[in-house]
């Protein structure tokens, strides 16, 4: 059994406070390339009352969020296996390893009550510092209580256990039981001028929303298939019922736009810009054309998906597919 701090959203229900200190040095807790095959979905919430604000005064958080979420682009990556690694040397204070990897919904909420962290562990680093790792894959935790681990030690794998709707590891950092944002340890947020004095050994990239990937399909896919990674076609026949290009993204804000372009061998088939009407932690949009009477021209088709903010593209992903 993991200790009490893991039984109630793992200290996520503790009172939030920010403290200044630089004794702890952290590395990324996920074995992937941030900005390529993984990304940071959410940060610590710096708003005391209602509303949400990350350390950059943007909306990449949710009310009361007390950690940093290092996420995978798709469930297929999780199934293939991506390691969670120790961010700093420490002693294992407790673990949990038996919670199923199931998408959290209102229907199954009772199953994870008191185990909202899912599978994970706590590391104690001395001088009042702790880190906590949540939502790991069932059966993957490979360290034991009392064990001393070095920074970079494999702790287990990314999972979907506990209260979560996407595969990630939630990293909480605490000093004397109080939450610390590793991107802004003294809590003195200055919008547009992030603190350069962080807990990270190397700067981690910040993306204020992005397109995670773009792909083709022969129909508008279900959102669950987009998130899983199963929606993407590898090629299409000349009699495909439709050619659809879609984009999956995160961190969209109200007023953002997503621009999707579909281009075939004879030129641009569609170019559409869609307004995002409210903040979206994750989203996807799609455009497409139905099968023409004479079939699709053989050749390469190109897709482009951009997330626009204030009229400028902050992220673009491109894709292509063969029709034969």
Show the DSSP H helices in 213-282 as ranges: 223-228
Query: CA 188 from chain center: how many Å?
Result: 25
- Rounded to 5, what percent of the chain is helix, strand, coil? 5, 40, 55
For β-strands 154-157 and 267-275, DSSP reports them as unpaired
**What does the pLDDT average to over 282-293?**
97
What confidence tier does 193 reach under pLDDT thresholds 50, 70, 90?
confident
CA distance 193 to 42: 19
d(CA 163, CA 110): 10
- pLDDT > 90? residue 253: yes
Q: What is the CATH architecture assignment of 4-179? A: Distorted Sandwich (2.70)
Strand order of the β-sheet with 210-217 is: 210-217, 242-252, 280-290
How far, in Å, are 128, 175, 191, 299, 311 from residue 179 at the CA level? 11, 7, 20, 55, 36
pLDDT in tens, 32-91: 999 999 999 999 999 887 889 999 989 999 999 999 999 999 999 999 999 999 999 999
- pTM of the entire predicted model: 0.89
Nearest to 104 by CA among 22, 161, 169, 20: 161
At 31, list the tokens: 């074995």
pLDDT at 6 over 70: no
Helices (H) and strands (E) in the chain, counts: 2, 17
Look at domain 210-323 and name its CATH class: mainly beta
Whether 4-179 shares its CATH topology with 210-323 is answered no
The residue with tokens 């969020």 is 65
**Domain residue spans of the chain:** 4-179, 210-323
User: pLDDT tens-digit profile of 156-180?
Assistant: 999 999 999 999 999 999 999 999 9
């Amino acid at each position: 059994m993991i200790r009490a701090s893991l039984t109630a959203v793992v200290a996520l229900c503790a009172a939030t406070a920010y403290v200044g200190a630089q004794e702890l040095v952290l590395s990324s807790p996920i074995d992937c390339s941030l900005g390529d095959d993984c990304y940071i979905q959410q940060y610590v919430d710096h708003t005391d009352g209602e509303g949400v604000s990350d350390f950059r005064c943007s909306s990449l958080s949710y009310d009361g969020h007390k950690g940093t979420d290092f996420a995978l682009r798709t469930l297929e990556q999780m199934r293939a296996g991506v390691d969670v690694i120790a961010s700093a040397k420490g002693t294992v204070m407790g673990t949990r390893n038996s919670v199923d990897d199931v998408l959290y919904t209102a229907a199954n909420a009772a199953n994870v009550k008191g185990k909202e962290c899912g599978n994970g562990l706590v590391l104690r680093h001395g001088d009042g510092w702790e880190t906590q790792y949540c939502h790991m894959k069932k059966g993957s935790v490979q360290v034991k209580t009392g064990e001393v681990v070095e920074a970079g030690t494999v702790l287990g794998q990314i999972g979907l256990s506990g209260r979560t709707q996407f595969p990630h590891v939630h990293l909480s950092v605490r000093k004397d039981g109080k939450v610390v944002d590793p991107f802004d340890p003294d809590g003195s947020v200055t919008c547009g001028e992030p603190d350069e004095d962080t807990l990270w050994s190397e700067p981690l990239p910040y993306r204020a929303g992005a397109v995670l990937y773009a792909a083709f399909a022969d129909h508008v896919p279900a959102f669950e298939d987009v998130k899983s990674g199963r929606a993407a076609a590898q090629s299409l026949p000349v009699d495909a019922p439709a050619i659809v290009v879609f984009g999956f993204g995160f961190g969209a804000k109200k007023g953002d736009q997503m621009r999707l372009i579909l281009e075939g061998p004879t030129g641009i088939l569609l170019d559409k810009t869609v307004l995002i009407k409210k903040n979206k932690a994750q989203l996807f949009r799609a455009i497409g054309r139905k099968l023409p009477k004479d079939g699709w021209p053989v050749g390469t088709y190109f897709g482009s998906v951009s997330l626009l903010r204030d009229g400028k593209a902050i992220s673009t992903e491109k894709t292509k597919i063969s029709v034969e």
